[in-house]
Chains A and B, each alone.
Chain A
Amino acid sequence: MNFERVVFGFFVILTLSLNYAFVAGDAGATANHNVWILTFAIIVNLVAIGLKLGDRSQIGALLLASGLVAGFLLITARVVWIVAESGDGGGPALVEMTDIMSIARGALIANIVATVILVGDTLLSRR
């Protein structure tokens, strides 16, 4: 067992889980989506990116790329949330909420890709 794999796997899968937790439920309803979960997802994702820095293997490069995509999309979603909220403080309106949700779902795809690569690499290395 490789301790680095445990830690990295933990952060990658946690990002995926948090991302799903955020996007699950009806897209239009603001009450279904917690901005704290989104923020945690961003932080955990950034940690996962940090852990992959310095890996010179091909798989490492691909994991770093998917992590960067997910991070970029999640941060964009968070920025849209901030901009939408600034008006009256009552949370984003329906239109903005739909935008945030579509961006966050895009990030979910990137996180799924990262997890599949991670699991596949571990299975293929057969150690």
Chain B
Amino acid sequence: MTSASDLDRVGMIVLRYMRRPLFALLFVYSVGIMGMALMPGLAVDGEATHMNLFHAFYFFTYTATTTGFGELPSGFSDEQRLWAIFCLYTGAIAWFYAIGSLVGLVQNPHFIQAMDGVGFARRVKRNDEPFIILCGFGDAGSLLARGLSDHHMRAVILDSNPERIKALGVRDYTVAMPGLCADASAPKHLLAAGVEHPACRALVTLTNDDDTNLKIAVMARHLNPRLQVICRSTSAHHETHLQALDNVTVVDPFEIFAQLLYWAIARSELHNLNAWFVGARGVELGAPIQVPQGDWVLCGYGRMGHRIHRCLQGHGVGVRIIDPDVDTEVVGECTVLVQAQADHSALDAVGIEDAAGVITAMNRDSDNLNTLLSVMALNPEAFRIVRQNSHENQVAFDAARADLVLQHSLTTARRILKLLISPLIQELIDWLAQCEPTHTQELVTRLQAAVGAKPAHLWLVRLIPGEAPAVTEYLDAGGAMALGVLCRNACSFPERLPCEALAVRRAGQSIMLPDKDFSLEIDDKVLFCGIHWAEPMLQATLHNPYTLRYIVTGVDEPRGYVFAWIEERLGRRRGEYESNDRRPRP
């Protein structure tokens, strides 16, 4: 289909380019070969011999390509030599012309683009591993690709900027990530990227333009209605459009940013847990950042500032705003407002001395860093939260020693990664955000007991015959399996493996924080969090029926028929003498 039409296009370009050189070669060859056959050769027995057509072709072949073996198959007459000179020059020129045209064709940008398109479509088509289509390879896109690569998830990348696609070529991803420089909103490029491919899991649109994102999402919905679409959108207008489509998840970077900011300020234990789950640098579980109470100074009231203000105000946190272009009516009356650049005098006017902290949320990194310096000078005690816009400025933000740096491309990429890799974890976080903080603290205590100071390792277990044969067999046979039993450590029975079940997904319903008596069923999906080596241990239990039986009963059951038979006989005899059950052997 698409690849065939692209291939046709490539074939057509080649033919059109090579038509004249090929005709030139054909003409020169015909003239040269016929002339050579007609030229009288050396006389044998007084009669002039002639080269036959095959020999003439042979001669011309090695002459035109300037190989030049000499006078083969026999010595030439002078007439033949004259013609040979003619053949050499015309033939060689025709060859150079043909080769030059071919080289020109290979360097032709349209041809290169068409070839890239064909190669890309072929690579996507041949891939049968699950993959994700990523439209837009900016800051958030490349961070997401890095995250996917860490989880060994393939991605197909579309971006209209050739520099970004070139940069993609030099990344050291763990899996193949084919990229194409193309406009992702054109349906044929989406088709080439595999939007209808059976292994395609989701499509993520991360371009900076909301219109393009909307267009891609709509196209993808039409091309493959079953495909999950995750769409970046920053405008409320587009969001209402997108919400109307099913299977489309809208991700608003500013909304996520505002939410994270609110958690950091008012729900620090949840912020700490979330950061630990996503593996943020320097985060220790159970050691949330200490944030002072009081009013916050918000520098910058653009789209981002607007969301932050709304979010904080909605949760009862006082906000004072500094922005040169802010409209008094939009903000409302109960808020302190300074219409100026966020410099010394403005910070002074807004009362930085008695504020709990400052949030610099302007869309220029230099402004944010500059404001930080002023805040340091005026109130070194103030808690400093800063928005980082560009990933390139990482080092400067590290050096600025702000209390919390939030980079919206990173937070967006992490949120999307969670949605793609383990949607349950995001559900859990959202659930915890709705609940009382004690739930979060309880979970943190449990995780600390299980994992200690190690980094978080999350994995999903599906209780289906392909992934957990021992457990499904056991459940099919009528056995009951509690979550706490499954997590026992077969190496040191009956201790627990260092892992905690966070959530169970059953028949479209999510059960958050199941306790150890929770009874598992076939087709459950269980999200675990624990130490890295707990996963292979649990895998062994899930696969090996003997290990599973051992962690349930604490008894090593006989494996072969012979010992099973002996055990049965012994058991029966023991049953005759003693009426009680078989005692578990240590």
Residues of A within 8 A of B (CB): 2-4, 7-8, 50-58, 60, 125-127
| Cα distance, A125 to B541, chains bound together (Å) | 11
Interface size, B (range): 10 to 19
Q: In whole angstroms, how far apart are the Cα atoms of A126 and B546 in the complex?
A: 15
B562 CB contact (under 8 Å) in A51, A125, A127: A51
Closest to A51 in B: B560
Measured between beta carbons, the chain B residues less than 8 angstroms from A53 are: 560-562
The answer, yes or no, to whether B99 is at the interface (CB within 8 Å) is no
A-B contact count (CB 8 A): 42
A2 to B559, CA, bound (A): 11
A57→B491 contact, CB < 8 A = no
A53-B562, A60-B559 given; 11 more Cβ-contact pairs under 8 Å: A4-B556, A4-B558, A4-B559, A52-B559, A52-B560, A54-B564, A57-B545, A57-B546, A57-B559, A125-B491, A127-B491
When chains A and B are docked, how far (Å) is the Cα of A3 from the Cα of B570?
Answer: 14
In angstroms, Cα B271 to Cα A93, docked, is 83
Question: B543, B556, B560: which contacts A55 (Cβ < 8 A)?
Answer: B560
| Smallest beta-carbon distance B341→chain A, Å | 65
Q: Is the CB of A57 within 8 A of B544?
A: yes
In the assembled complex, the Cα of A16 lies from the Cα of B564 at a distance in Å of 25
> Could you tell me the distance in whole angstroms from the C-beta of A11 to the nearest C-beta in chain B?
11
Residues of A within 8 A of B558 (CB): 4
Closest CB of chain A to B488's CB: distance in Å?
Answer: 13
Chain A residue, CB-CB nearest to B550: A127
Complex Cα distance, B493 from A2, in Å, reads: 15
State the CA gap A54–B565 with chains docked (Å): 11
Assess whether A126 is in contact with B491, with CB atoms less than 8 Å apart.
Answer: yes
What are the residues of chain A within 8 A of B493 when measuring CB–CB?
Answer: 127
Q: List 16 A-B residue pairs with CB atoms under 8 Å apart, sorted by A's residue number.
A: A2-B556, A4-B556, A4-B559, A4-B563, A52-B560, A53-B561, A54-B559, A54-B561, A54-B562, A55-B560, A56-B559, A57-B544, A60-B559, A125-B491, A126-B491, A127-B491
Central interface residue in B543, B560, B563, B564, by most chain A CB within 10 Å: B560
Which B residues are in CB contact (< 8 Å) with A126?
491
Complex CA distance for A10 and B128, rounded to whole angstroms: 47
Who on chain B is nearest to A55 by CB?
B559
Give the CA-CA distance A52 to B559 in the complex, in Å: 7
Given contacts A126-B491, A127-B490, A127-B491, contact A4 B560 (CB under 8 A): yes
| 3 cross-chain pairs, A with B, having the tightest CB-CB distances, nearest first | A54-B561, A55-B559, A126-B491
Q: Which residue of A lies closest to B556 (CB)?
A: A2
CB pair A56–B560 under 8 Å, yes or no, is: no
Kindly report which residue of chain B lies nearest to residue A2, judged by CB atoms.
Answer: B556
- B491 engages A54 (CB within 8 Å): no
Q: Interface on chain A toward B: helix, strand, loop, or mixed SS?
A: helix
How close is B320's CB to chain A, nearest CB, in angstroms?
A: 61
Task: Name the B residues within 8 Å of A3 (CB-CB).
Answer: 563
**Chain B residues within 8 Å of A56, by CB:** 545-546, 559
- Is A50's CB under 8 angstroms from B559's CB? no
Write the chain B residue with the least CB distance to A56.
Answer: B545
Nearest A residue to B557 via CB reads: A4
Q: Give Cα A2 to B544, complex, Å.
A: 17
State which residues 545-574 of B face A: CB under 8 Å: 545-546, 556, 558-564
Q: Name which of B490, B491, B558, B562 has the most chain A CB atoms within 10 A of its CB.
A: B562
By beta carbon, the residue of chain A nearest B558 is: A4
Query: In the docked arrangement, what's the CA distance between A4 and B555, Å?
Result: 13
Q: How far is the CA of A52 from the CA of B564 in the complex (A)?
A: 11
Minimal Cβ-Cβ distance residue in B for A59: B544
Minimum CB–CB distance for A56 against chain B, Å: 6
Q: Which residues of B are found within 8 Å of A2, using beta-carbon distances?
A: 556
Nearest residue, chain B, Cβ from A126: B491
- A125-B491, A127-B491 given as contacts; is B544 within 8 A of A58 (CB)? yes
Output the nearest chain B residue to A60 by Cβ-Cβ distance.
B559
Q: Mark B486-499, 1 if CB is under 8 A from A, else 0.
A: 00001101000000
Contact B562 A50 (CB under 8 A): yes
- Residues of B467-502 at the interface with A, using a CB-CB cut-off of 8 Å, are 490-491, 493
Q: How far is the CB of B53 from chain A (nearest CB, A)?
A: 64
Chain A: minimal CB distance from B290 (Å): 42
| Smallest beta-carbon distance A51→chain B, Å | 5
Question: Which residues from chain B contact A127 at a C-beta distance below 8 Å?
Answer: 490-491, 493
CB distance from A47 to the nearest CB of B (A): 9
B260 to chain A, nearest CB (A): 42
Write the nearest CB–CB distance from A45 to chain B, whole angstroms.
15
Q: Tell me the complex Cα distance, A50–B559, Å.
A: 11
Contact residues of B between 125 and 157, Cβ < 8 Å to A: none
**Residue with the highest number of chain A CB atoms closer than 10 Å, among B490, B543, B559:** B559
Q: In the complex, A54 Cα to B560 Cα: how many Å?
A: 5
Given A125-B491, A127-B491; A51-B545 close (CB under 8 Å): no
Tell me which residues across on chain A come within 8 A of B559, comparing CB atoms.
4, 52, 54-57, 60
State A77–B76 Cα separation when bound (angstroms): 75
Give chain A nearest CB distance to B575 CB in angstroms: 19
**B543 neighbours in A (Cβ, 8 Å):** 58
Distance of A62 Cα from B541 Cα, bound (Å): 19
Please give the distance in Å from B84's CB to the nearest CB on chain A.
Answer: 68
**Shortest distance from the beta carbon of A4 to any chain B beta carbon, whole Å:** 5
Bound-state CA distance A127–B554 (Å) is 11
How far is it, in angstroms, between the C-alpha of A57 and the C-alpha of B545 when the chains are bound? 7
A110 and B546 alpha carbons, distance in the complex (Å) = 25
Residues of B within 8 A of A60 (CB): 559
Contacts of B561 on A, CB cut-off 8 Å?
A: 53-54
Q: Give the distance in Å from the alpha carbon of A81 to the alpha carbon of B556 in the complex.
A: 42
Contact flag A51-B544 (CB < 8 Å), given A4-B558, A126-B491:
no
Q: Report the Cα distance A52→B561, complex, angstroms.
A: 8
CA distance A2 to B556 in the complex (A): 7
- Could you say which residues of chain B place their CB within 8 Å of the CB of A55? 559-560
In the bound complex, residues from chain B placing their C-beta under 8 Å from that of A57 are 544-546, 559
Whole-angstrom CA separation of A53 from B560 in the bound complex: 5
CA distance A126 to B561 in the complex (A): 25
B342-384 contact mask (Cβ, 8 Å, vs A): 1 or 0: 0000000000000000000000000000000000000000000
A54 and B546 alpha carbons, distance in the complex (Å): 12
Residues of A close to B491: CB separation below 8 A: 125-127
- Chain B nearest CB, measured from A103 CB (Å): 27
